[in-house]
Chains A and B, each alone.
Chain A
Amino acid sequence: MLFLKLARKKLPEVLKEFPEYSFYTPKKEGVRVLLKETSPDGLPEDLRFERSTASAKELLFPQAETMFYFLRYKPSQKPVLDEGKRLILGLRPCDAHGIQVLEANFLKVEPVDPYFKKRRENTLLVTVACSEFEDNCFCDSLGSGPDRLNGADAIIYDLSNAVGVLSNNEIISQRLKDYAFQIQEVRGEDEAEKGSLPQRTVEPLPILSPEEYLSLILEEKLWDKISSTCLACASCTYLCPTCYCFDIQDINYGPAGKRIRTYDSCMFNLYTLEASGHNPRPTLKERWRQRFLHKFSYIPYLHGILGCTGCGRCIEVCPAGIDMREVIKDVAKFPR
């Protein structure tokens, strides 16, 4: 792992060292902040980017993607892989945590997902340590930010007159070397100089162990209460950086067509409804239990990381005003 210090004004120049990569940053457009292709010259000087409305997952695992085409009902034996190279700058440490969860699902467990793998290999994720907390984010309670490298290829720290770049990525370290005025080999990310980080004044949220959460599975009253105001719109799962569930569908153009995959959501009735009419998760109570325990118990149990990044997008988008922080507190104080 390398820690490099650069003069702040060198950054746009450094980014030109990645000519084969399209350059993406969060950009405000109307009320939304989109991850858009842009030029390195337009980089904001203070390196402050707004939190993107949708999470970084959409660039690695898009809302809809073609898996393969078929002609006369015969599938092509050549899958459609996205070959584009992208450098995404200005993400947040929580986004990088989300990518780690996606990697656990798509890459760590055999067989590897070829679509995600190709995109991840072709993507450089550069985060910027947060200088302040948003109103509704809570990564500090979950250990996923605001200064952690997580699943990013590099993280940038604001050191007032310079920037520090911490990276374990060969491509980034190599191409940055000539621009750095100080290069330091570090064993862990805590050895890096991080500048001033935001301080939270509120009390951290109570996070239980995967086993403790699992022990609440049969507490119907708890899940009833939590799900009672939910409208099942699933906006939370679409914007969530770690929600990776998908559906596979065919689209026909006469005898030709394509097989696509799209986001799907455990908040939908159809998600688990079987052809026989049987539904193993028939009401919102079971679906909310699934959503919560998947993030806080099953993913940690299977992959050793929390399935929630604390980014706060689900809180921001929920039309019913359900606040994940309150849910976490409600679950923690339920008698076990």
Chain B
Amino acid sequence: MWQNFPVNPYLPIPVRVEKVRFESEDRSLKTLWLSFLDEKIRENFQFRPGQFIELSLPGKGESPFGIASSPHEELIKITVNKTGTVTRAIHQLDQGDIVGIRGPFGNYYPIEDLLGANLFIISGGFAFTTLASFTEYVLEDWSDKVKNIDLVYGARTPGMLLYKDLLEKWKENPRLKLHLTVDREFPGWTGLVGFVPDIVAKVKVDPLNTYCFICGPPIMIRLTIPKLLEKGISREKIYTSLERRMKCSIGKCGRCNIGPKYVCRDGPIFKVSELEKLPPEY
């Protein structure tokens, strides 16, 4: 979608921070809502769930983030984990601050292929962002086109689960079965206890008519894929969204490749059947 950058794909487009919220109990995750200053760009900005943007803070640098809002929402939502220089600076941002974004980049979840199918959405930790966008989009805009949705979402502790407002809302939806899990028992926690791959193994799905979408830490992805294959789900129907260190996000700077594929341009979403042909560098 380069039409957003008619002149120069490296120039960030100014956005205003409209709202911020701590997302996790340890305050390491912060959610920001952004909107373009330029009305025309705001109206023309289109993306699909699964795509990402580069958030740009002149003087600090840029970092890539999956878009966590659904395309029909007015503001662009991202959730930022405080780990490095740029993300530390992003955590300092407050309502009214002006920053820049570039994007959207990458491919998206293949929503058109899902007509009449069941969805199995699997996520762990703060990698839930684009899958939250996807889930919300499917429930709001595609609900009558897909059958049932199973959502397994795990975090270390109940306080580390993202988007509790959305999770509460989805609980009421008869189309979606929510399997929330945390790593160990906590007082007051009534959901599941255990690691995501083990919970996935226990969920019953129709192996012939289910598309799976995984996003989480690399170790979770690696342990979850075999559990899905054991259920008899085809490699062609398991998708995973990868993260890599990225700089340009337009397939030029070279660092995010896995074999001949660039995660920023050819990904971030890959089928397991595609991944198996690439070096295990993720």
Contacts and interface: CB of A to CB of B under 8 A. Distances in A.
B61 A249 contact: yes
A266 interface: yes
A294 B87 CA distance: 31
Contacts of B12: 75
Contacts of A281: 281
Nearest to B9: A111
Interface stretch (A82-90, A268-276, A327-335): A268-276
A77 B38 CA distance: 13
A106 interface: yes
A272 B255 contact: yes
A257 B56 CA distance: 14
A111 B60 contact: no
Contact of B254 (A73, A245, A286): A245
B264 to A, nearest CB: 12
A245 B11 contact: no
A217 B243 CA distance: 21
B168 to A, nearest CB: 28
A5 B100 CA distance: 55
A297 B260 contact: yes
B253 to A, nearest CB: 5
Q: Which of B12, B280, B281 has the most CB of A within 10 A?
A: B281
Contacts of B56: 75
Contacts of A74: 14, 58, 98
Given A217-B259, A286-B281, A276 B59 contact: no
A280 B74 CA distance: 36
A252 B58 CA distance: 9
Interface string B229-250: 0000000000000011101101
B245 A273 contact: yes
Nearest to B3: A111
Interface in B202-221: 217-218
B260 A257 contact: no
B254 A79 contact: no
Given A217-B279, A272-B255, A75 B100 contact: yes
B45 interface: no
A275 to B, nearest CB: 4
B83 A264 contact: no
A120 interface: no
Interface string A245-262: 111111010010101010
B8 A79 contact: yes
A114 to B, nearest CB: 5
Nearest to B256: A272
A134 interface: no
A174 to B, nearest CB: 31
A79 B59 contact: no
A68 B59 contact: no
Given A257-B58, A280-B244, A298-B260, A79 B11 contact: yes
B282 interface: yes
Chain B interface size band reads 35 or more
A289 interface: yes
Interface in A108-124: 109-111, 113-114
Contact of A275 (B2, B83, B251): B83
B257 A113 contact: no
B220 to A, nearest CB: 12
A271 B255 contact: yes
A158 B2 CA distance: 46
B60 A250 contact: yes
A244 B14 contact: no
A32 B5 CA distance: 41
A274 B243 contact: yes
B253 A246 contact: yes
Contacts of B8: 68, 79, 114
A218 B277 CA distance: 11
A75 B279 contact: no
Contact of B84 (A264, A266, A275): A275
Contacts of B87: 275
Contacts of A70: 58-59
Given A111-B5, A274-B244, A75 B11 contact: yes
Contacts of A105: 252
B57 interface: yes
Contact of B279 (A79, A218, A246, A278): A218
Contacts of B247: 246-248
Interface string B50-87: 00000011111111000000000000000001011001
A170 B59 CA distance: 43
Contacts of B14: 74-75
B189 interface: no
Interface in A66-81: 67-68, 70, 73-75, 77, 79
10 contacts: A109-B251, A214-B260, A244-B254, A248-B62, A248-B248, A274-B244, A281-B281, A290-B257, A298-B257, A302-B260
Q: Nearest 10 pairs between A and B by C-beta?
A: A245-B254, A70-B58, A275-B83, A298-B260, A275-B84, A280-B281, A111-B2, A111-B9, A217-B279, A248-B247
Given A250-B60, A257-B58, 15 more contacts: A70-B59, A73-B58, A73-B98, A75-B11, A79-B10, A111-B250, A214-B260, A246-B247, A247-B247, A257-B59, A259-B10, A264-B253, A290-B257, A293-B279, A298-B260
Interface of B: 2, 5, 7-12, 14, 56-63, 81, 83-84, 87, 98, 100, 217-218, 243-245, 247-248, 250-255, 257-260, 265, 278-282
